[in-house]
Chains A and B, each alone.
Chain A
Amino acid sequence: MPRTRIPVPWMVCGLGLLWMLLIACVSAQQSSPATPVRATEAIASGASAQEWNRIVEAAKAEGEVIVWTQVGEDRRRFYKDAFEKAYPGIRVNLFQAPQSAERDARFLQEWQAGVAKVDVMIAGSAGVNARIKPVGGLQPLRPLLRPDILDPAVWRLGILWVDKEQQYMLMSDTSVYPPVTVNHSIAENEIQSWEDLLHPRYKGKIVQTDPRSSGPGFAAGLFMYYNPDLGPEFMRELYNKGVVFSPDERQNAEWIDSGRMLIGISARPQEVEALRKIGGTLRIVPVLKVKGRPEAFFQGSDGILFVPNLDPLPHPNAARVYVNWFYSRDGQQAMADILQLPSNRVDVDLSNVPQYTIPQRGVEYTNMNEERFTSTESVQQMRDYVDRIYVAP
């Protein structure tokens, strides 16, 4: 009887599969067990322990909370894994869209059709302000929060509501994105003010994410456009110098490091730090001057949460537990540790967070998440202006 020969590619595929399974088994054994916190540890000072325990038990009976946000494995570790570790009986059903625009489009379709099933949405406040809030798609967050979270004393810069009604969106992270990150070839004091960026030497050598799309470049664009001492005219001059709009933040940091680009506007700190850890020589300029005064901006991103206007929510108790965990010390510590975002809470240890991302004394900051900047009209005005004046290099 002839022997059957196994073709080489099949053998390679089989061995590859076996190898993957082996690694999977090893890493599964290495993963650490969850260390749940007792519900009573998270009790608010003003709320009754009994009442809170009742909510937590009801949430466990519901079994899950549906959270919609943006993609990212690190975000999954924060939004899902950290919460499930804190509340083992409640599973996070996490939906992650590539961009908040896609998430919001899907939510609006489902909400208007009356089939939306979401308890909590996180991040992308500009889009939510522009699209979901105006059509009544949000319900107030304030009534769901425990009194200890609404205590101004626990927040470094006070309670920062994004919406003018101070009901819907509470901002918990206040990230100062360095205005510029520079290649090592740029001398220490070469760039001290926003106006220095207009030097002809930097023509075609400045990169940022598109100010018309959500991301770090968006806040920088709003800052420039609405700053009375910079304004549209400065923006026009700068964007006529051939600033490259590139959406890949990691690549942008690499370009600055390698010298392909000399300057990055509002580069993501996590990317800069990742490069510096492996010997990258790009440098942060933490603050730039405007008309001689140090001025900067901070923004919130992954630390802003919204509750959709659904009556009832699919899991009302679990949603309440999630919301309160998110803004609690535990939730904010997880955010600082996993996403390296500076929480605005005073009781969170920020030693893992790049220090230049934490607001400093002596600098005038603008909160770019305020509704006067992120309302549909404000955003659209800046967007249309950039459309008109931008000249690609």
Chain B
Amino acid sequence: MAQAEIAIVKALAKPAFSWRAGIQWAFLLLITAIILAPVAMVTLGGFNVARPTEGFRFGFDNWARAWADPQVWQALWNSISIVTIRGILGFAIAIPLAWLVARTNIPGAKWLEFGFWVAFFMPSMAYIQGWVFLLEGGRGLLNQWFTMLFGQPSPIDVYSYWGIIWVHLMAQNVSALFILLVLGFRNMDASLEEVARTCGASRLRTLLDVTLPLSRPMLAMLVVLAIIRGMQSYEVEQVLGQPAGIQVYSTLVVRMLSVEPPRIPEGTALSTLVLISLIPLILLQRLYIGRRQYTTVSSKMRTALVDLGRLRWIAFGVVFSVVMLQTFVPFVATVAGSLMRRWGYFTIASPWTLERWQRVLGDDLFIRSLLNTLFLGVISGITAAIVCFLIAYVLIRTQFPGRDALDFVSWLPWAIPGVLLSLGLLTLILMIPPLRILHGSMLMLVIAMIMFRLPLGVHLLKTGFMQINRELEEASTICGGTWLSTQLRIILPILMPMLIAVALMTFVTAVNEVSGVVLLASTETRTLSLLSLGYLLGAAPQKEAAAVVTTIMILLCVGVALIARAFGLRLAEGGLR
């Protein structure tokens, strides 16, 4: 017994990875440099008041001009208002849905969850087109039915403030929150909830007093995520807000970048606002989490589900309805659009055609773009999962002195619009001659994709690590397990759903991302999203052909998700054995 105690003390006293400190530092410095350098390039660009032919000259003129724009305050207010309302409503919808799927015996939970993944795969334009088709002023299908039923024009118009909120809720807002919350709720010890129930707490009270407080790290991360991503959200506001005269912060930044001549320095100055607001946000996040323990995964963990009784079918109906709203509308709109002579025009002569499918699939660029996308998505997805895992490990499991700085740095890629971040990356690799070899290469795109998903991946896995009791790793160490074998056999299987989520979300980014890749891709590394853009923005745009590519992109994501799911589940089971 005494020997065992000595072994435990020795194992615990042994500084983790002391022999690997050099590698650890090198890895962290590399990650920090890769993230910080392009962000710094962009930030400094906001302070550069030199003419294009001159070098760097420091000044605040760009800031002054950006903030003197008469629309900037109204746009900021609109952004804050939309982000707040869609955030509150998004959480109000996603939390109960995620709880029902993750913590109760609702029928078909796995498929309902997969439904939200499918919703997450849909590009924003699919949602916008779908809801415009249904709810546009006097032309929307549902509005026309309303007029037929009630004999008066429908008061609903998707081109409005509430239209923007609605489409956001039906788009990736709720689905992303749901997916991430489910991952957190799944790692919950059922015995904690059972204690609450035994003490007489209702299901709602148990959710509010036990489940949610234990999910504080996840919730805090999601709030920061919702605010940052909300401020950067562009497409919905651009399409639905312009006719209603609603300008938001992100549309203003993009406008500054696209006007003639471009106001890149001013747009850059304005875009760093989110960067600055990150500091108080992260401080608040830490205050909220505090120094408490959020460990829920231990050797005694029980995964029993709450029995809803007959109510489970009602719950199923509710969740299923939301899934259908989130997947059916955009998917049908996209597929129908790809098969129409002109998207949304049902009453013209012979409205249906396969011509666009033939054109796209017969396009020489299609197969190459498809292969590029698959390659980029798979490599980026796997690499992102590994990199995020390692960073999250360092943040939670080590005493590395630069942890706080690294934690902050890992949020940065989301504080800058994608196009500016890729411009920063481009400037960086062109400035340093040995890095020029990366220009136009697939590796450059892989780095960009990882950066775009790094904040989500790192902070999601961070919450995962916080939920896992250290006793599991300590027990493995005592039993003679090395660090690697402990991670592979104990931690990896527990975090596997989160790792798959990170990989899949990176894959989806690789498939859908446009603004972030356009400056970095070459003709050889063109992806499906750029092919789709080519159809969408020509001299005579082919929205229907773009819908064909979008349909293929959605199917690709669903296919990869099915494979990842099957593979991941097998890995998790194997690891646990």
Contact = CB atoms under 8 A, between A and B. Distances in A.
Contacts of B257: 101
Interface stretch (A128-136, A152-160, A343-351): A128-136
Contacts of A388: 70
Given A72-B537, A98-B514, A278-B348, A212 B260 contact: yes
Nearest to B540: A270
B23 interface: no
A41 B407 CA distance: 66
Nearest to B245: A392
A392 B349 CA distance: 38
Interface string A57-91: 00000000000001111111000000000000000
Interface in B309-363: 341-342, 344-345, 348-349, 354, 357-359, 361-363
Interface in B509-537: 514-515, 518-519, 522-523, 530, 533-537
A357 interface: no
B552 A20 contact: yes
**A interface secondary structure, majority:** helix
A27 B367 CA distance: 14
Interface residues of A, number: 85
B539 interface: yes
A134 B137 CA distance: 47
Contacts of A213: 255, 258-260
Interface residues of B, number: 73
B69 A387 contact: yes
Nearest to A108: B52
Given A74-B540, A109-B426, A278-B341, A131 B255 contact: no
A31 B362 contact: yes
Contact of A244 (B70, B243, B555): B243
Interface stretch (A141-149, A322-330, A359-367, A376-384): A376-384
B170 interface: no
Interface stretch (A8-16, A194-202, A285-293): A8-16
Contacts of A249: 541
Nearest to B347: A279
Contacts of A371: none
Nearest to B351: A278
A387 B70 contact: yes
A260 B240 CA distance: 13
A210 B430 contact: no
Nearest to A123: B539
A10 B348 CA distance: 36
Given A127-B260, A134-B52, A213-B258, A250 B419 contact: no
B537 A250 contact: no
A167 interface: no
B397 interface: no
Interface centre among A30, A109, A112, A135 (most CB of B within 10 A): A109
A355 interface: no
Contact of A115 (B264, B357, B427, B430): B430
B242 interface: yes
Interface string B489-517: 00000000000000000000000001100
B255 A210 contact: yes
B518 A113 contact: no
Given A210-B255, A246-B242, A75 B361 contact: no
Nearest to B238: A247
A274 interface: yes
Contacts of B536: 71
Interface centre among A72, A245, A251 (most CB of B within 10 A): A72
B394 interface: no
Given A113-B430, A274-B342, A135 B52 contact: yes
A68 to B, nearest CB: 10
Interface centre among B138, B535, B539 (most CB of A within 10 A): B539
Contacts of A207: 243
Interface in A197-223: 207, 210, 212-214, 218
Nearest to A22: B361
Contact of B538 (A72, A106, A258, A279): A72
A34 interface: no
Contacts of A237: none
Contacts of A135: 52-53
A131 B227 CA distance: 35
11 contacts: A10-B562, A13-B558, A21-B361, A23-B357, A26-B358, A71-B533, A73-B538, A244-B243, A258-B139, A340-B539, A340-B540
Given A97-B518, A212-B260, 18 more contacts: A13-B555, A13-B559, A17-B555, A23-B361, A23-B362, A71-B536, A75-B539, A98-B515, A102-B419, A102-B519, A127-B262, A130-B261, A131-B262, A247-B238, A376-B261, A380-B261, A383-B259, A393-B244
Interface of B: 52-53, 69-71, 136-139, 238-239, 242-247, 255, 257-262, 264, 341-342, 344-345, 348-349, 354, 357-359, 361-363, 365-367, 419, 423, 426-427, 430-431, 436, 439, 514-515, 518-519, 522-523, 530, 533-543, 545, 552, 555, 558-559, 562
Listed from nearest, the 8 A-B pairs whose CB atoms lie closest are A72-B538, A27-B362, A392-B245, A113-B430, A24-B361, A270-B540, A27-B358, A212-B259
Interface of A: 7, 9-10, 13, 16-17, 20-21, 23-24, 26-28, 30-31, 70-76, 93-99, 101-102, 105-106, 108-110, 112-113, 115, 126-127, 130-131, 134-135, 207, 210, 212-214, 218, 242, 244-251, 254-255, 258-260, 268, 270-271, 274-275, 278-279, 301-302, 339-341, 376, 379-380, 383, 387-388, 392-393
